[in-house]
Amino acid sequence: MLKPIRWNTFARDLFVIQIGFLLYGLALALIIRADLGTSTWLVLEVALADILNIKIGTMTVVMGFFVLAIALLSRERVGWGTLANILSIGPWLNLWLELISTPENNLVLQIGMFLLGVLVQGIATAVYIGVDAGAGPRDSLMLAVHRLTGYSVRVARGSIEVIVVAIGWLLGGPAGWGTLAFALLIGPSVQWAFKVFKVHPHKPEDVVIPAVVGED
């Protein structure tokens, strides 16, 4: 189901949503460069990027379209921001990876980078979901699980992360203790950011009512 485009605020929404994507790419780059174990989705995406011999950012784009298909099958409402997410975060990630390097022999700085990455990712998620132009593909999947099961955002996100990292680890992805920490911390980070920015991902008009059998 597609969200209608609000043309009267489109320019402002596009600007704000790109800030969210820029921050999201920064968050992923910080976590990668911390070198303590990547975020859960990156464990899988890095593994697949190595197998396919492509850049990590490019792999996030490919994975984004795949996850979007699953979210659509779950009848999650998406919008132009969902497509913008898929096409924007990968390039931002590749740019930040060029600018940020891994600290050498500085565990404290590495931990700080990792925790900052988790915090920034939670904020970035709230920023672009708050635009209400459609969540990103991974967050659309998270919101679909939240809506269909009634579980909190924290539980829905955490469950997805555990499944994804298990597959990525089996494929040889860079899992580490930081990956476990990410799986435990990202849900609370997103939920905290939702509260701080007063983001309500499912407004009454956004609820998808299953079609009656026989209707188009």
Q: Cα-flanking dihedrals φ and ψ of residue 30, to 5°? A: -60, -40
- Please tell me the distance from the alpha carbon of residue 145 to that of residue 212, in angstroms, as a whole number: 21
The verdict on residue 116 lying in a domain is yes
The verdict on residue 205 lying in a domain is no
Closest CA to 12 of 157, 104, 184, 131: 131
pLDDT tens profile 82-138: 888 899 999 999 999 999 998 988 999 999 999 999 999 999 988 888 887 776 788
The verdict on residue 214 lying in a domain is no
Closest CA to 21 of 77, 69, 71, 91: 91
The verdict on residue 27 lying in a domain is yes
pLDDT tier, 76 (very low <50, low <70, confident <90, very high otherwise): confident
Which residue, chain included where needed, has tokens 């600290």?
103
Which residue, chain included where needed, has tokens 């990410």?
182
Instruction: Please state, rounded to an integer, the average pLDDT across all residues of the chain.
Output: 84
Overall domain count for the chain = 1
Residue 216 has pLDDT above 50, yes or no: no
State the pTM of this model.
0.79
Residue 157 has pLDDT above 50, yes or no: yes
164: region left, alpha or beta (phi > 0 left; psi from -120 to 50 alpha): alpha
User: What is the extent of the structural domain holding 163?
Assistant: 12-199
The verdict on residue 83 lying in a domain is yes
Q: What is the DSSP letter of 134?
A: -
pLDDT tier, 165 (very low <50, low <70, confident <90, very high otherwise): confident
